[in-house]
């Protein structure tokens, strides 16, 4: 193929932009996320901000036995029939408020957030970061995936005890692998 992205036709998705990101780009980023997930071998994963479900669906197709919970706010995007169809293939929950997270403490091996936190006002990021740390098991990970232009948001997560283990940028989006210490 001439593109670095898979064809959306091979995935059977209609062209749909999520916050300016195309389906092809989302599939590309979701496959990069899959590499992290494979290297970490988690059993329980939480997705914060599942949007149209592409990341969730990619992980479930790649790792069918994975225990994955996807959360997002219920909004107009979720009323689009194609998005409802994608989300019907994964365990997704639409909630009125994501924070505080509606899950138990220290429950997930990995939490990931694709293109979510740049939408959150700075004044709420520190509180959200504390909530994310609350639900990650000691030694577990956060995979932060967001626009490179807001890469400094990683500081909010480092302030609450997460340690950055890996960072790289692909196609204007950064991937930051942050680990929760054993004492938290």
pLDDT in tens, 92-105: 555 556 788 989 99
Identify the band that residue 23 occupies on the pLDDT scale cut at 50, 70 and 90.
Answer: confident
pLDDT at 184: 54
**Pairing state between β 108-114 and 44-48:** parallel
Over the stretch 110-150, which tens digit does the pLDDT of each residue have?
Answer: 999 999 998 888 889 999 999 999 999 999 999 999 999 99
pTM for the predicted model, two decimal places: 0.83
Query: What percentage of the chain reaches a pLDDT higher than 70?
Result: 75
Length in residues, the chain:
184
Q: Could you give the domains of the chain? A: 8-180 (3.40.50.150)
């Amino acid at each position: 193929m001439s593109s670095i992205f898979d064809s959306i036709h091979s995935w059977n998705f209609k062209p749909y932009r999520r916050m300016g990101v195309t389906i092809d780009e989302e599939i590309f980023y979701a496959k990069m996320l899959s590499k992290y997930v494979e290297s970490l071998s988690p059993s329980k994963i939480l997705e914060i901000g599942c949007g149209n479900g592409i990341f969730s669906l990619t992980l479930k197709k790649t790792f069918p036995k994975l225990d994955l919970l996807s959360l997002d706010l219920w909004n107009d995007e979720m009323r689009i029939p194609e998005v409802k169809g994608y989300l019907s293939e994964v365990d997704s929950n639409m909630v009125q408020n994501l924070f505080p997270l509606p899950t138990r403490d220290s429950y997930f091996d990995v939490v990931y957030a694709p293109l979510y936190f740049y939408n959150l006002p700075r004044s709420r990021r520190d509180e959200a970061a504390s909530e994310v740390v609350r639900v990650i098991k000691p030694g577990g990970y956060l995979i932060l995936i967001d626009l490179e232009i807001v890469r400094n948001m990683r500081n909010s997560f480092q302030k609450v005890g997460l340690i950055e283990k890996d960072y790289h940028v692909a196609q204007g989006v950064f991937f930051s692998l942050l680990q929760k210490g054993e004492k938290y």
